[in-house]
Every structure is written in structure tokens, then in C-alpha cells.
Copies of this chain bind each other. A is one copy, B any other.
Amino acid sequence: MTHTKPDTELENYVSALGCEALKASRRLAVCTPEQKNAALLEMSYELARCQDEIVHVNQEEVEAARRRGLPAAMCDRLLLTEGRFRAMLNGLRDVAALPDPVGAELNTTVRPNGLVIKKVRVPLGVIAIIYESRPNVTADAASLCLKSSNAVILRGGSEALRTNTAIAQALTAGLVKSGLPAGAVQLVNTADREAVRALVQLDKYVNLVIPRGGEGLIRTVVELARVPVLKHYKGVCHVYVDESADLEMALRICENAKCQRPGVCNAMETLLVHEGAAARFLPGLGGLLGEKGVELRGDEAVRALIPWALPAEEQDWYAEYLDLILAVRIVPNVWAAIDHINTYGSQHTDAVVAEDEAVQRAFVEQVDSGVVCINASTRFNDGGEFGMGAEMGISTDKVHARGPVALEELTSYKYIVLGSGQVRN
């Protein structure tokens, strides 16, 4: 196998970050909840102290991005408004207030030979976060990693490098003031794309990589990585409205799942309707969503009931629109809905609206997704809504963590075997 050989200086730089992070992670593993919480508050004060400077640098970067012709949506994500800055500060304080995930005894077994085996929650060690555009991720991700006693190596988008650097400097200053090692929060301080490769192959030091961004970024990370990756590619979320559904409820759920925030991964992208409910349900739904400016793309049977719907093509069933567009299909029964979801879906979040408990059960058991909702909006797949506090993101993987990734999902465990001289026969 031939690889482009990464620049050795760059490799050494990234490796040195890893080595520092590992050292810091060993310190973090034994520090108290109080030390971590004090550091999080200190970080918020330092960030507040540097606000003018950070906002100034950020405005220069947004200007530069506009001049280079970056899409408006991307420039907007890059911008640190007053509100977003405040949310960063509050985020640090909120994470400090969450319960500490480290040290909990998960399980204890006493063996016939007297050995006591305890399973105890411990940090993962070093986490690398690779993200795009939004500079607030720098503080959000750092706070969750610190709270779970993990050292973090942050790699943001090149268009936000100066903003991210300024934020990371403030965070580090807060860390150091409170007596924790600067290596606990580090930013990859280069726009060189090869740094991503070096980082995700650093299995000597890094325990987990979490990519956050578009599908292209995530595919690149998975392809290059030698370190475990936690991720979701996309959220093609479905609502299935059964023949037995309360159609008033189905209307409310569909409206919420599609319109409340269409640009996020847990918004509905495809609606499946039982053929026995279609004539009663779809005209009303079409009216409601039409008023909200939603474009519908349906199969033939849908278009017979909603004449203004556009025809859906095969690719629409795979689409994550992240926009006011909805694909609609009529299906003969719940089994066909399950098949459709397992074929075209992304194992993210899928909902059934049904009163029939056999239908609910079949859907929940057979839809192979991280979160399956019964008579509730797909929008609830969210760490905050699950009562976990802030989240790092959503996983559609089955290994390690599935669904919302919050503090507990950023930990591992170790076994402690407590004996009195036992040996094995």
C-alpha cells in the first residue's frame, strides 16, 4: 500500500501534541470533581475576559471568508455573535454543574474463590475532535472532555483557525490558573490538511476520534483513521403513520419533526403513510406543510392525493435535505415501512405513530436505528432532551455508544480484582 508520506515536521508536531495530551490525561484521571469544576469556571472567566479580542479576530476571519467567496451559510456558521459567545460561556458553567461521570462503580461481582471484581467507570484518555466552521465547538467540546477527565486535541476548520486559537488560548489560561495541565486542551495550530491524517493515525496516544461536520469530512476521517471513530454520517429520519394512528397526533408530530428546525440531523426527511390512512391523512398534512412552505416529493399514490407534490425519484429516499423538503411514500403496512427504513435510512432516528401495540412493537424491534420513537417527534434524539445534559453529538454506530453522546459516552471502564492471595488452578 502506498501512502502519501506526511511531512515529518508536521508528524512530529502532532505527535508531540499527543504525548502532551497523554501526560495531561494521566493527571486528569486522578483529579477531583471539584478541581475540574473549578477549572471549567476559570475557563469561562478567561473566555469572558478575552471576548473583545476573540470577537475582533473572528470578524476579520468572517470578512476574509466572505472575500474568498465562501457560501453565506458557512460564513454564518463561522460568525461568533454576542448570543453565541454568551452560549459558550453558559455552556462551560452548565457542564460544571452536571454530575461527574468518572469513578462510578458499574457492577460488583463476588466469585466463589472470594475474588471481588469491580467494574469502575474511567476516562477514555485522549480524544481528538475534528470539526468544521462553528468556533463555539472549541469551547463546548473542551468542556465535555475535561468534565469526563479526558484530554482533548481539537482540530477546527482552517477558515476559523485564528478564532479557534484565541478561544483555545483563553481556555488553556483558565486551566493553568486552576492548576490543571495545559495539555488537557490543545488545538492543532496549522491549516495543513495533512494534520488530520497524522492525528487520526496517532493510535499510540489518541483513544477516540469524533468527527463533527459534513458527510465528506466524516468519510475522510473513517478512511484515514487507525484510531476508533465515533460518528454519524447523516440523519435520514422517518416518521411512519400507521392505519391505527391518532391522525391529529400524527399531524402535530409530522409538523414538528419537519418544520421546527429543518436543518438538523434529527429532523424528518421521509414520511411513510399506511395506505389505509393515506386518504384521511395526506390532504390535511399537505395543507398544513404547504402553508409552512414545505416542498413535498411523493410517489404516484401521494400525488393523487396532493396534486401539487413533485414526483419523488429513487434518490429522494436516500436524501438528507436539511431543508423544508419532505419525501412522502404510501406503504401497504408496517412491514413495508420497516423495510423501507432499513433499506434507505441512516440508523439515526425513526418514529412510528400508531395506537396498535403490535405495530408499535414490530416497529421498535425491527427498525435498526439508534433511537426509535413511538408517538413522539424524531426531534427528541438529543442529549439534553434525554436528560444527559450537553452532548458531543449523535452516534449511529453500534460499537461503544449509540444515540446521544454525552459525558458517560466519553468514558470507558476498568476492572479491579480484589483478592487475598488467590492464584488460578
A contacts, CB < 8 Å to B:
1-4, 26, 29-30, 109, 111, 115, 117, 124-125, 203, 207-208, 222-223, 226, 228-230, 246, 249, 252-253, 255-257, 260, 342, 364-366, 368-377, 379-381, 385-387, 397-400, 402-403, 412-424
Contact = CB atoms under 8 A, between A and B. Distances in A.
A309 to B, nearest CB: 23
A29 B377 CA distance: 25
A399 B402 contact: no
Given A260-B424, A400-B399, A371 B246 contact: no
A368 B125 contact: yes
Given A369-B414, A370-B414, A424 B109 contact: no
A339 to B, nearest CB: 10
Of A228, A374, A380, A398, most B-chain CB atoms within 10 Å: A398
Of A117, A386, A412, A423, most B-chain CB atoms within 10 Å: A423
Given A1-B4, A117-B386, A414 B402 contact: yes
Contacts of A423: 252-253, 255-257, 260, 376-377, 379
B402 A400 contact: no
Q: Chain A binding site: helix, strand, loop or mixed by DSSP?
A: mixed
Contacts of A368: 26, 29, 125
30 contacts: A26-B342, A109-B386, A111-B385, A117-B387, A124-B398, A125-B398, A223-B226, A253-B421, A255-B423, A257-B423, A260-B423, A260-B424, A369-B414, A371-B415, A371-B417, A372-B414, A372-B417, A373-B417, A375-B419, A376-B417, A376-B418, A376-B419, A376-B421, A379-B423, A380-B417, A380-B422, A385-B424, A399-B399, A400-B400, A402-B415
A18 to B, nearest CB: 15
A252 B420 CA distance: 11
